[in-house]
Homo-oligomer: A and B are copies of this chain.
């Protein structure tokens, strides 16, 4: 009888063509089915309420029958997975990877001898799914012309969005209903110049949605490998999002060979905004690291000859001519403009500063020839990555840094001339090894060469991974700017410390800048896929200090800049200002010197996208904790429990906060520092100015400190 029932149930399943999957804690529910056209459909519910309505899946092929309809389910496989793994570096010491998986093997009536596999992994915090193309008799080489993945929403949700753009993510975020998205509107101009907005209704991922409930829904992808980036196209009438893949120069999306898997499409769901930031779903979907030796990889804080060029007191270029040629120009004969920052003397000053204050790395931009005409000319042979300017002595500085136990950080601005970079890569990394550089910051400012390709296309995606693999061969760490936005690959390539791939702090130096809310949004969007080299830590907020009449300023208070070291997670953090700025405020600078970049534990205490974030983190292999609290253009007050601290212990809390009359525009640099003894029982009152912040270090207090410092 039982057997009959099972058989009936099994056949019923096949007949219904629907399968259900639950997350381990049962809060999330996935339904998979085929509709009447035998198209694959998925639905996602959170606590029994629909999050994603019935949404299609499918892949269109070039000159081959598409994976679109006419499907038959060959079989289902369900598995459970639960393990704990340790990242090489990260926000936490251990990560639990716990999911229920449903694997659906499909075939189609119209094509024999090939399958499509859909894999769904349901975690407590969200869903990941991908397409898999097993090697089969009738599927070898194929070209994807479109992906039909939909995300059908229940309402016209609010979204924190930036325009879908094949080449740039350097936009300010807009908060609006999906139906009100207009990617083409003027105020979305980024000041970089290479824009490839594809549609008025096109937006990028990670996309942060907030429903009316509110429910928080974050859409992105994981494991972007050998495939173009996924953008989203909004159908305002249907409240529908569709995948929009970035095309190559010929209009195709991906050139694939079975067996192959697409990236995971990820939907993180929670009724608590904090849990969005805590999610490890994207990392959990990524492949483990396979490096045998990771001893050469280390999180670090660094300073650099960099901000002065953005501010304008220094230049990347050595000379002010606008026409130079590698292998032809006699660099020693160029007339120096007197503003070239990357010179031997200045670099030694930075090395001295780094050594004095415990910074491991010193980045130097503008050290190598080619900057005179690097931008806007679509120049192919733009940099050689090995020839220094006449005033930058590689050997001398290599010795000097070594003697001071400081590492120079290499800079490879490629000007998006990628073929040139790939040709010269090995030689450039060999030079790094020779002169003791173990980390490189790359840049891709400009239009891609090979001409016609996009930063977010399949070939560029593969280039960035190629760079991560090649640097790893040379035991070099990587920080890639103007790259495709990350999707968790730093789990697999832990030398890939960070990317930019968003509008960073630098925009404050020479453009309309970043809005006060910017840093309260980025962790909910850009940082979902991986760390960002945001380059915080600007103390001299108003830049007319450096150039009289200069109007630009960073749109935060000074202590918000400190708090960013905690709220903007990255294993690579820059103290971005001129050393001279830090020398003027050594007490505030102490926080940057103290804060860690690698963590055993992280707590998102309070967070609301676009409004505020309060994060606490525990230092790696240490009892120290750090807290960062930031707000948008509104001043705010919070009462925070310190129950994350070890109980029964005294901590010395050094609190860096906005002065009472601080304001990002009126008095951004007003701050105060107080020191108190606290315990896990303490409740702290935080008072944040407009675009203000509070940063706190918690060190276990000695008995002497416990008696001498007053209790909070």
Chain A residues within 8 Å of B, Cβ to Cβ: 135, 140-141, 248-250, 255, 257-259, 322-323, 325, 373, 377-380, 419, 422-423, 425-427, 450-453, 459, 466
Contact = CB atoms under 8 A, between A and B. Distances in A.
B423 A141 contact: no
Nearest to A453: B450
A250 B249 CA distance: 8
A420 to B, nearest CB: 10
Contact of A257 (B257, B259, B377, B451): B377
A66 to B, nearest CB: 19
A453 B325 CA distance: 24
Given A140-B373, A426-B427, 9 more contacts: A135-B323, A140-B322, A140-B377, A141-B379, A249-B250, A249-B450, A250-B451, A257-B379, A258-B323
B377 A249 contact: no
Nearest to A418: B419
B140 A257 contact: no
A181 B250 CA distance: 31
A452 B250 contact: yes
A257 B323 contact: yes
Contact of A255 (B257, B259, B378, B452): B378
B325 A257 contact: yes
Nearest to A323: B140
Copies per assembly: 2
Contact of A422 (B422, B427, B451): B422
Given A451-B248, A459-B419, A141 B377 contact: yes
Nearest to A378: B255
28 contacts: A140-B322, A140-B373, A141-B373, A141-B377, A141-B379, A249-B249, A249-B250, A249-B451, A249-B452, A250-B451, A250-B452, A255-B378, A255-B380, A255-B451, A257-B323, A257-B325, A257-B377, A257-B379, A258-B323, A259-B325, A419-B419, A422-B422, A422-B423, A423-B466, A426-B427, A450-B450, A450-B453, A450-B459
A25 B122 CA distance: 86
Nearest to A328: B259
Main secondary structure of the interface of A (DSSP, over half): loop
Contacts of A373: 140-141
A70 B425 CA distance: 46
A144 to B, nearest CB: 14
B141 A378 contact: yes
Contacts of A452: 249-250, 452
Nearest to A450: B450
A257 B258 CA distance: 43
A260 to B, nearest CB: 9
A382 to B, nearest CB: 10
Which 7 interchain pairs have the tightest Cβ spacing? Answer: A450-B450, A426-B426, A141-B377, A249-B452, A140-B323, A249-B249, A422-B423
A680 B59 CA distance: 77
- Between A248, A255, A450, the greatest number of chain B beta carbons within 10 A of the residue's beta carbon is seen for A450
A419 B425 CA distance: 13
A451 B452 CA distance: 10
A450 B452 CA distance: 10
Contacts of A249: 249-250, 450-452
A452 B249 CA distance: 7
Contacts of A140: 322-323, 373, 377
Contacts of A248: 451
A422 B459 CA distance: 14
A466 B424 CA distance: 11
A373 B141 CA distance: 10
Contacts of A259: 325
Contacts of A135: 323
A448 B469 CA distance: 24
A670 to B, nearest CB: 48
Contacts of A427: 426
Contacts of A258: 323
A103 B459 CA distance: 45
A373 B135 CA distance: 14
A140 B427 CA distance: 29
A248 B453 CA distance: 13
A496 to B, nearest CB: 18
Nearest to A260: B325
Contact of A450 (B141, B377, B419): B419
A503 B423 CA distance: 30
A433 B453 CA distance: 35
- Between A257, A258, A378, the greatest number of chain B beta carbons within 10 A of the residue's beta carbon is seen for A257
Contacts of A379: 141, 257
A64 to B, nearest CB: 13
Nearest to A258: B323
A427 B452 CA distance: 28
A151 to B, nearest CB: 30
Contacts of A323: 135, 140, 257-258
Contacts of A378: 141, 255
A137 to B, nearest CB: 10
Contacts of A459: 419, 450
Contacts of A141: 373, 377-379
Nearest to A140: B323
